[in-house]
Amino acid sequence: MASKGLEGVVAAQTALSHVYGDEGRLIYAGYEIEDLAENTTFEEVCHLLWFGELPNASRLSEIRRQLVAGAVVDERVLDVVRAAPKHAHPMSTLRTAVSALALWDPDTEDMSPEGNQRKAIRLTGQTITLTAAIDRIRHGKQPVPPNNDLGLAANLLYMLRGERPDELSARIIDAALILHAEHGMNASTFAARVTAGTLSDMHSAVTSAIGTLKGPLHGGANEQVMVMLHEIGEPDRAADYVRARLASGGKIMGFGHRVYRTLDPRAPILKRLAEELSARMGGAKWLQISERIQETMRVEMERRGKQVYPNVDFFSASAYFTLGIPMDLFTNVFACARMAGWTAHVMEQYSDNRLIRPQSEYIGPKHRKVQPLQERE
């Protein structure tokens, strides 16, 4: 019998991360997510995912150098971005641009572990550069190349705005990148592993993943959260909005998860960061609306006996908005982070590969016979 949505199916072994759904815990390679968010940077987490260990100081400066150097995007790929219509969704442009990176990457068809490590490093930096470039180009501005003096998080804001960000803004993006970098067998990672499982190349695998992340049930939810906060507009209207939406059978974006049966551990970390940010830069209204939604959802879900809690997207939305990131770019920021996890999974898949090919349960008609064309209705 098919398990709808493959719920409960263990599709691969991984040493990269684990979601403890009942406890609301998340580990990357043995480290608790709270510990990593508090005490490391995104570059350290990339190293952990790709090489299994946190780097020492000299390895860290080397990987930082490689990541920023590798973040440069070929002018011919930027031309692909320039050719995209201005109204295209930034995730569609990113999917096409990342696919185009393969055409000029020196290692595209190199399937050696070293070739794949080089591609993982480049793809992670380049996704950040592309995300910023997509936004600038669609607004008629020149893309800004990465700055060697800045880390990846600060570079994202720098390349978007064309000026160096303040420390708090960069730290918040850095934490958001850490929190979104990896998450077990989520839908986009699964898509990447299925593609890699055919021994197709890394660019093909992560292009599959970007297309999968785009959907509103996965990475696209953070944009939808902000759309909802705008629709609500004022804290006083939040409770009625939530009740009306639930009564009409709708879902509240930024809530619920296939694996967590309690609060997503990433949500309170992002909430704290969003609070810190709003104390400094404004945007308290979005947090007030979010809190009212959370409270109404708690009561309504308890009443219905459902275990639906805020997920990672709920508080990232107001933090990104306060940082001035356009709403339709939120999912691209998610992709910047998850590129580290996808590429790590692709390398893990190659290291012990077996074609991923499940079966389906046939529910169509049986024992039919082809009628001659003239006799068909």
Give the residues lining the site for ligand COA (CB under 6 A): 5, 217, 221, 251-258, 306, 308, 311-313
Contact 17, 26 (CB under 8 A): yes
Residue 296, amino acid: T
Using alpha carbons, list the distances in angstroms from residue 28 to 51, 122, 135, 200, 341. Answer: 12, 21, 31, 26, 10
Minimum CB distance to ligand COA, residue 195 (Å): 21
Tokens of 87: 């109204």
Tokens of 230: 């705008």
Residue placing its CB nearer to ligand COA in the complex, 254 or 265: 254
In angstroms, the CA 226 to CA 232 distance is 10
Residue placing its CB nearer to ligand COA in the complex, 122 or 183: 183
Catalytic position from the list 313, 328, 345, 352: 313
Q: What is the CA radius of gyration of the chain?
A: 22
By three-state DSSP, how is residue 272 classified?
helix
Minimum CB distance to ligand COA, residue 307 (Å): 8
Catalytic position from the list 18, 180, 183, 257: 257
313 is catalytic: yes
Residue placing its CB nearer to ligand COA in the complex, 22 or 53: 22
Using alpha carbons, list the distances in angstroms from residue 357 to 12, 194, 343. Answer: 12, 8, 20
Residue placing its CB nearer to ligand COA in the complex, 81 or 175: 175
Strand order in the sheet with 31-32: 17-20, 25-28, 31-32
Minimum CB distance to ligand COA, residue 318 (Å): 14
Query: Which residue do the tokens 């005490």 mark?
Result: 39
Minimum CB distance to ligand COA, residue 22 (Å): 14
Residues paired with 32 in a beta bridge: 27
Tokens of 282: 């404004």
Residue 81, amino acid: V
Minimum CB distance to ligand COA, residue 259 (Å): 8
Residue nearest to ligand COA (CB): 256
Residue placing its CB nearer to ligand COA in the complex, 89 or 258: 258
By three-state DSSP, how is residue 143 classified?
coil
Strand runs labelled E in the chain: 17-20, 25-28, 31-32
Residue placing its CB nearer to ligand COA in the complex, 5 or 282: 5
Alpha carbon 373 to chain centroid, angstroms: 50
257 is catalytic: yes
In angstroms, the CA 282 to CA 24 distance is 30
Minimum CB distance to ligand COA, residue 2 (Å): 14
Alpha carbon 46 to chain centroid, angstroms: 14
Residue placing its CB nearer to ligand COA in the complex, 18 or 138: 18
Using DSSP bridges, classify how beta strands 31-32 and 17-20 pair: parallel, antiparallel or unpaired: unpaired
Minimum CB distance to ligand COA, residue 104 (Å): 33
Task: Please give the positions annotated as active site.
Answer: 257, 313
